[in-house]
Structure 1
Amino acid sequence: MRHIVIGAGAVGGSIAGRLAETGQDVVLVARGAHYEALRTHGLRLTTPDGTRVHRLPVVEGPETLVLRPDDVLLLSVKTQDSAAALDTWSGRPVEGGGTAGELLPLVCAQNGVENERLALRRFRHVYGMCVWLPSSHVDPGEVVAPCAPYTGMLHLGRYPSGIDATARRISASLEKGTLLAPLVPDVMRWKYTKLLANLSNSLGALTGPLDTDEARLIQRRAYDEGRAVLSAAGIDSVSPEKAAEVRGDHLGLDPHLASGRDGSSSWQSLSRGTGSIETDHLNGEIVLLGRLHAVPTPVNETLARVANTFAREHRRPGSMSVAELAALIEAASGAAAE
């Protein structure tokens, strides 16, 4: 089995590095300065057990790569980039006949719940992955994954549901190293739980660490809106208590590696000045469902709107005060009540 990691950033780079450490066949897919750094210097992965440089094949796209029937595509781009990546890869020929979309398994190792739907339009064999893997990618060629004894927990299942032989093979491949990949027949229940946890990504990206009562109140209100929306939509999720119990002490955070970086994907997008942020598929997912089911979501709507503004204007992460954000939320709450 060869693992083609499409989007070798924080999550993709961490998984790729850990796979490579167990001698598995890995190809990285990256763009721009990150691609150049990976091609020239290799993937520099820092974990609690040290820093390793992995010299792995790296490509910018499928044009220079011959796809094989034993390939697994691991999609780890942000959701706003998924459609373009899926279109790029789905029609590519596979050695021996057929296309990637017809033959190859595609795993959505991403936050949010939209990627699998996008993928299933283009790929016949789609797998969801609920990613609990705190990591950061700010500098080209470098990834920091601060958890031990395991780097991440990656619940895996076929989309929309089920477990099959391919899922078992992928799970076994991941678990050869310091990754946990539990197989679950209801992977989207786990991903909706992660979605609720990710609603504070934008808050931390806008205002910095959530270490004040006012910030934690906004975090709680965003989460409560999310729970209310999922309930109204009839969408089931794993309880946070159950999720925490399953993770247990497998993902202990090394404070030295984690210090100085928010760690969330939204913070990293603003730090790198990419001009886009995935908040439309996190907070925005709650806003969408709220509008469909007549549930007001002023906190998530404000977080999505302001985070998008930060991304477009290339504003620094953490540069808005909690009080300023709270005032915007109260204004939105008042408008929603009218």
Structure 2
Amino acid sequence: MRVIILGAGGLGSVFGARLAEQGADVTLVARPTHVEAINKNGLKISGVNGDSTITNITAMSSADDAVGEFDYLILGVKSKDTAATLAGAASLKGRIKTACSFQNNTTKEDDLANWLGAEHVIGFATIEAAQLIEPGHASHTFKLPLSTYFGELDGTITPRIEAIVDICNAAGIGTKAMPNIKQVMWEKITQIANAAGWSVSTLAGNKNLVMNDGMVIQEGAEHYVQYARELISVYKALGYQPENFFAPVSKLKELDGGSFDDAVATVIAIGEGMNKAGMKGRPSMFTDVISGKKTEVEETIGPFVHKARELGISVPTVDAVYRIIKVLDHYLV
């Protein structure tokens, strides 16, 4: 199996390393400093699965240097960089059998289909997390027993889905083939939008705070539930019901069902559990804001705002969170 990861930051590096450990021929296209460090010393992976250094991996800073055909391409850049990245990888066209994306947005499959053709695109969602510690070193910061899903966009399970699922499972990434991959991807973006928007609108005034710091406060938990329920109302209007695909961290079913007070108690309990476990959750959007970087508010929260308006659904908290972050984003670079 040959895999090329286009835009290999923290998560792309970890996925690439895990697949390479299972014998896949992996090429990472990444920033020059990261590429230089990998080619000199190998790719160091630390974190939840321990430490290792991967040397049987190819790294380059330009897709033009990639040779031959690839069974899978995984797009790993920020959503705002998609157009420029795909334009810069035109030399790969005709050499990619199957493509998918790590991104957190609702247009990633369409973007790839417009670039390669719809027949080359599959659905993919993962909640595994990683970060780039320094050039040549990525930390695998979060995993679940079942964290990753692949599926054909027409709802079928094909040999190319089974092949990528099998190697991911062999690599220690809990993965499942899903007929309803479109729902999985929408549920993931609902969960991501919830954590991202809530954290920025609640915690951004203090760069030392993490999610659990706000979740254990009554008012923080109340804001979390109100915001989540409005996001979920849009998700349900698309014909879906919360399934907690990313349990145990996913609690959309609990947030949506029962009384408001019970849901608030659930959020507080999650925060207390995170504190007890020593976890320090911080969504990338929150990290972007406190680091002075542009966010993906339009790609992550925008779909819920626009879909709610289209369907006539009242989401005042979602609207407020979106407006707050859009103002902050205006002054970020």
Distance change (3 Å), C-alpha of 1:80 and 1:153: same
- Please tell me the residue identity of whatever aligns with 1:226: L
Residue 74 of structure 2 aligns to a residue whose secondary structure is strand
**Which of 83, 93, 101 matches 1:108?**
101
Tell me if 1:132 matches 2:132. Answer: no
Query: Contact 1:136/1:265 (CA < 8 Å) preserved in 2?
Result: no
Amino acid at match of 1:244: A
- Cα separation, partners in 2 of 1:305 and 1:141, compared to 1, 3 Å: farther
Cα distance in 2 for partners of 1:314, 1:43 equals 31
* CA deviation profile, 1:225-267 (whole Å, cap 9, x unmatched): 11222333x3425423x6527999xxxxxx89x9685342323
Task: Assess if the C-alpha contact under 8 Å between 2:198 and 2:227 holds in 1.
Answer: no
**Gap change, CA 1:128 and 1:37, over 3 Å in 2:** same
Per the TM alignment, residue 162 of structure 1 is displaced from its structure 2 partner at its CA by: 2.0
Identity of aligned residues (%): 21
Out of 291, 310, 315, the position equivalent to 1:292 is 310
- Structure 2 residue aligned with 1:225: 230
Q: CA deviation at 1:93?
A: 5.0
SS of the counterpart of 1:191? helix
- SS of residue paired to 1:50: coil
What is the 5 A alignment of 1:24-63?
Answer: 24-31=24-31, 33-55=33-55, 56-63=57-64
CA drift at 1:314: 4.3
Provide the alpha-carbon RMSD of the alignment. Answer: 3.1
Provide the C-alpha distance between the structure 1 equivalents of 2:30 and 2:326, rounded to a whole number of angstroms: 23
On the 8 A contact 2:123/2:181 being kept in 1, the answer is: yes
1: distance between equivalents of 2:37 and 2:222? 41
Gaps of at least 5 residues in structure 1 are 249-254, 316-338
SS at match of 1:244: coil
Distance (whole Å) between structure 2 residues aligned to residue 289 and residue 217 of structure 1 = 24
Unaligned runs of 5+ in 2: 204-208, 252-273
Taking the aligned partners of 1:122 and 1:189, their CA distance within structure 2 comes to: 23
Letter in 2 for 1:293: L
**Residue correspondence of structure 1 range 123-202 to structure 2 within 5 A:** 123-124=116-117, 125-137=120-132, 139-147=134-142, 153-199=147-193, 200-202=195-197
Equivalent residue, structure 1, for 2:84: 84
Cα distance, 1:165 vs structure 2:
1.4
Partner of 2:219: 214
- Residue 268 of structure 2 corresponds to none
Structure 1 residue 202 displacement after superposition: 3.2
Give TM-score scaled by structure 1 length: 0.76
Letter in 2 for 1:19: L
Q: Which residue of 2 aligns with 1:204?
A: 199
- Distance in 2 (alpha carbons) for counterparts of 1:110 and 1:163: 22
Change in 2 beyond 3 A, CA 1:30/1:20: same
Contact 1:205 1:262 in 2 (8 A): no
The amino acid across from 1:236 in the alignment is: Y
Aligned to 1:6: 6
Q: For 2:315, give the aligned amino acid.
A: T
Give 1:327's aligned residue.
Answer: none
**What SS class does the counterpart of residue 121 from structure 1 fall into?**
helix
Write the distance in 2 (CA, Å) between the matches of 1:54 and 1:267.
Answer: 31
- SS at 1:214's partner residue? helix
Cα deviation for residue 281 of structure 1 reads 1.6
Counterpart-to-counterpart distance in 2, 1:32 and 1:300: 39
1:137–1:268 contact (8 Å) kept in structure 2 = no
Shift of 1:129: 1.0
Q: After superposition, what is the alpha-carbon deviation per residue over 1:147-167, rounded to whole angstroms, capped at 9, x for unaligned?
A: 4675x6211011243221111
Distance (Å, rounded) in 2 between the aligned partners of 1:93 and 1:244: 36
Instruction: Find the counterpart in structure 2 of residue 73 from structure 1.
Output: 73
- Cα distance in 2 between the residues matched to 1:202 and 1:93: 35
Aligned length: 297
2:240 is paired with a residue of what secondary structure?
A: coil
CA separation of 1:49 and 1:131: change in aligned 2, threshold 3 A? closer
Task: Indicate the residue corresponding to 1:120 in structure 2.
Answer: 113
